[in-house]
Structure 1
Amino acid sequence: MDWQCTGLRWPEGSDGPALGWRKGARTRASVLAYGTEFGFRASGERRCSGARGNACPLGAVVPATSTGGRCPECGRLDRAHSVAADTVPDDPRTYRVYLAWFGPGMVKVGITAEERGAARLREQGAVVFSWLGRGPLMAARRAEEVLRAALGVPDRIPYARKREVRAALPDPAERAAEVAELYGRAAALEGAGLPEALERLPFAAVDHAEVFRLGVAGAGAGAIPRPGPGHALPRSGSVRAVAGLVDGGAVAGRLVAAAGPDLHLDAGAQGLVIVDTRLMTGWTLTAAGPGAAGVSVPTVVVGGGAAQDGLF
């Protein structure tokens, strides 16, 4: 049995992401460093990534373009134990309610287990967030529903939209101000439907742009990352995203940024290529090989909506 990728993680207290791996009951993580070379080659077929830390009993083959990476049976099992699906109302843990900002006009309200800290926000690609309150699960869930209706914000945002707006983020003060304005409206709802069991938390905007290495307004679509020491900006032009892996297909480049499940690679002459690590789950991945450069799997233009014919 080979090691299977289980996707990108943002451990609490870390300064960057890590790729998870599983081989039977064994797990490990590979910490990723910005500015270093990153590459892999897919091998064989993509298999279901299982559910709740368990391998798929069927070893089912799943589509290369699925970001879920699970067969129907494992998908149902995973949802059956999901807090988001309201299937575990007796969870005794403390939960936090948050406002998360992904781009201008793109704010959502959500909850996460307090023990996870801000890891959930980084996994979603939240550029800025603020806590709103903390309390038992059902109080947090009720507050989420009240705030979503009162503020007119969703509980989820399609990931493609989050990715598109990263090319031209406003400055830190402007994005924090948008979160602050919504926080103020939420605070004004005191006693108007928010559960008493929810402890209110003060406003404090946390900005992940530096953690993600994202650029600022005016950087342009081809310069999403802000380079650190020794980094070079990717070439200008359209940004492409990997649409799915194929047997024998390689991805190689220099890691210049990451956000949510996405890795941003400077792929040389091919410019900036974004790899959604959810598409890596379930594959057997090997080293890209000496001299490997660029991407030889299908891609799409970010914001373009149409798949590229063939490979690079």
Structure 2
Amino acid sequence: MEWRCAGLGWPGGGPVLRWAGGRSSALAYGRVIGFRAVGERRCVGARGNPCPLRAVVPARATQARCPECARLDRAFSVAADGVPDDPRPYRVYLAWFGAGLLKVGITAEERDAVRLLEQGAVAFCWLGRGPLMAARRTEELLRAALGVPDRVPYARKRAVRGALPGWAERARELEGLYRRAVVLEGWAEALERVEFEAVDHSAAFGLAEAASGPGEGVRGLGEGVQAAVSGLGERARGAADGVVREVVDGGVLAGRLVAAAGPDLHLAVADGRVLVVDTRVLVGWELAGVDAGPGAEVTVPVEALVSAGGGSEQDGLF
């Protein structure tokens, strides 16, 4: 049976590796995992349809699609305004990734916080809800008026994740921007404002600071996750020594899962390092299990993390 990776998802608030064909594998913090890439990286197709050519795609691409499938996927994307008549209600949000690093975005209301988990937002709050185009216009207003971007490079998210301030500071920064946003003139009339509530994802991500929990009145995720990651040590806070952004045929990754955020898995490996694995570059690869016991080596390219102010890689629109 072939196990071809389809990416990392967050159904139910916890990390899950998905596989072609609809299978999935839940990931638990503290668990040792290991796999080896096999063959060539193949296009995953578009809109639920397989690529008719099973085209080979570049190892470093963050989207595992050939040019034709990428165009088809984009043509029906809400992010590209490909479905402006989408009747579903949408929400506008503020996402917090680290001190001074926030973005504004929109997501379908039915997805709740899943999109924020997928982006690696350590904390967030809702701003408003309403029709798609009203949400889009208000998103643009907030971006321009508040100087808040609608996209943040993953490299910057990783860089700040290793030095997160405490919950009180995170919630205070979110609330301050929320208060500025809701009094702005020019909101789309069809978009209603949502009362402020800061949401914490540090427990869901396996970050050690979550063991103390956010303050009263804050909605956290996953008490069971908090218990599972307690005692993993300071390295579980998000600090890392390198990042894996490319996989090669025969390359091995093995280690203990200590944290996850967005598309990233944080693995403590045999030589004492903590590596961030960008699972977007695993998509399209067939992965075979390997012995991940003591002494298991990492044989894929590892890059240094960029500084908090560096990185030009672009995140998705929302």
- The answer to whether TM tops 0.5 is yes
Larger strand proportion of the pair:
1
Indicate if the aligned counterparts of 1:99 and 1:107 stay in contact, CA closer than 8 A. yes
**Shift in alpha-carbon separation, 1:61–1:270, aligned structure 2, 3 A:** farther
Contact 1:238 1:301 in 2 (8 A): no
Could you say which residue in structure 1 is the equivalent of 2:58? 63
Alignment gaps of 5+ in structure 1: 217-224, 307-312
Shift of 1:45: 0.5
Residue 165 of structure 1 is aligned with which of 154, 160, 173?
160
Query: Distance between the aligned counterparts of 2:188 and 2:292, measured in 1?
Result: 59
Change in CA separation of 1:149 and 1:233 when aligned onto 2, cut-off 3 Å: closer
Is 1:4 aligned to residue 4 of structure 2?
A: yes
Q: Judge conservation of contact 1:9–1:123 (CA < 8 Å) in 2.
A: yes
Alpha-carbon deviation of 1:279?
0.7
Q: What's the secondary structure of 1:211's corresponding residue?
A: helix
Structure 1 residues 245 and 106, CA, compared in 2 at 3 Å: closer, same or farther? same
Q: Which residue of 2 aligns with 1:299?
A: 302
Measure, in 1, the Cα distance between the counterparts of 2:229 and 2:170. 22
Map residues 41-190 of structure 1 onto 2, 5 A cutoff.
41-189=36-184
The total of aligned residue pairs comes to 292
The CA deviation at 1:271 is: 1.1
Structure 2 residue ranges without an equivalent (≥5): 210-225, 312-318
CA contact (8 A) 1:242 1:276 kept: yes
Per-residue CA deviations over 1:114-139 (Å, capped at 9, x if unaligned) read 11010000000001100001111111
Deviation per residue, 1:276-297 (Å, 9 max, x gap): 1101000000102364723110
| Partners of 1:267 and 1:165 in 2: CA distance | 21
- Retained in 2: the 8 A contact 1:134–1:199? yes
Write the mapping of 1:210-225 to structure 2, written as runs, cut at 5 A.
210-216=203-209
Report the CA distance between 1:16 and its aligned residue: 1.4
How far the C-alpha of 1:233 sits from its partner, in A, is: 5.2
1:301 partner SS: coil
Match of 1:204 in 2: 197
* 1:252 partner SS: strand
Aligned to 2:216: none
**Counterparts of 2:292 and 2:197 in 1: how far apart (Å)?**
47
More contact order relative to length (CA 8 Å, sep ≥ 6): 2
How far, CA to CA, are the matches of 1:261 and 1:144 in structure 2? 24
Q: CA deviation at 1:103?
A: 1.1
Q: In the TM superposition, what is the alpha-carbon distance from 1:15 to its structure 2 partner?
A: 4.1
Which residue does 1:245 correspond to in 2?
247
SS at match of 2:170: helix
The answer to whether residue 258 in structure 2 is matched with residue 256 in structure 1 is yes
**What residue in structure 1 maps to residue 221 of structure 2?**
none
Q: Which amino acid aligns with 2:305?
A: V
Match of 1:231 in 2: 232
Q: Take 1:298 and 1:288, find their aligned partners in 2: how far apart are those partners?
A: 18
Q: Could you list the per-position Cα deviations for residues 59-101 of structure 1 after superposition, in whole angstroms to 9, with x for gaps in the alignment?
A: 1111111111111111111111111111100101010100001
**Cα distance in 1 for residues equivalent to 2:143 and 2:300:** 39
Q: Distance in 2 between matches of 1:205 and 1:230?
A: 26
CA change 1:234–1:181 in 2 (3 A) is closer
Shift of 1:209: 1.1
- Is residue 28 from structure 1 mapped to residue 23 from structure 2 by the alignment? yes
Show the counterpart of 1:220: none
- Residues 1:134 and 1:279: Cα distance change in structure 2 (over 3 Å): same
Cα distance change on mapping 1:74 and 1:270 into 2, 3 Å: farther
Aligned position for 1:279:
281
Equivalent in the alignment of 2:15: 17
Q: What amino acid is the match of 2:253? A: V
Aligned alpha-carbon RMSD (Å): 2.3
> What is the CA–CA distance in structure 1 between the aligned matches of 2:84 and 2:165, rounded to whole Å?
39
TM-score, scaled relative to structure 2: 0.86
Q: CA deviation at 1:215?
A: 4.2
Decide which moves more: 261-270 or 119-128: 261-270
Query: 3-state DSSP class of the match of 1:294?
Result: coil
